[in-house]
Amino acid sequence: MSELIRPILESDLASLIQIEQQAHSHPWPVNQFSRRLNCERHLHASLEIGGQLAGYYVASQIADQAELLNIAVSPEHQGKAYGARLLKHLIAQLDPSIQEIFLEVRASNGSAIGLYEKLGFHQLGCRPNYYPCQKNGREDALLYALTLNVS
């Protein structure tokens, strides 16, 4: 099946929101995506498999740092290394001056944590009770970073 990683288009938003809602317990609203599509400091890409949107990422870059803001792969395509492909694509698209990529991840998201650590991210710290949970609870955010371009 053919694969293509390309910039997110406005016409992708309906499919993107569907994946977002399937992949995240507290999904971004559509305006969070549309605000970032036309901002020069944001990077974004979608993954198409067989002509269907299957995943995406949104990131920002400021000065010598980047931050992964959102990444998701549709449930039927999870566990097939598509998340790793998207992250490697992001790293390849970064400005050469970027020295570190940061991200936050729910402490309960073991599959994402495993992916990040496999790609060389290391845990920097924890934000206690950062994320809302389904039943009015809170969940810790783990902070991760990947160092690039070490001089």
Question: Which of the residues are catalytic?
Answer: 104, 116
Token output for 41: 């400091």
Q: Distance between CA atoms of 80 and 85, rounded to whole angstroms?
A: 10
1-6 long-range CB contacts below 8 Å, 24 or more apart? 1/49, 1/50, 2/48, 2/49, 2/50, 2/51, 3/47, 3/48, 3/49, 3/85, 4/47, 4/48, 5/45, 5/46, 5/47, 5/48, 5/85, 5/86, 5/89, 6/45, 6/46, 6/48
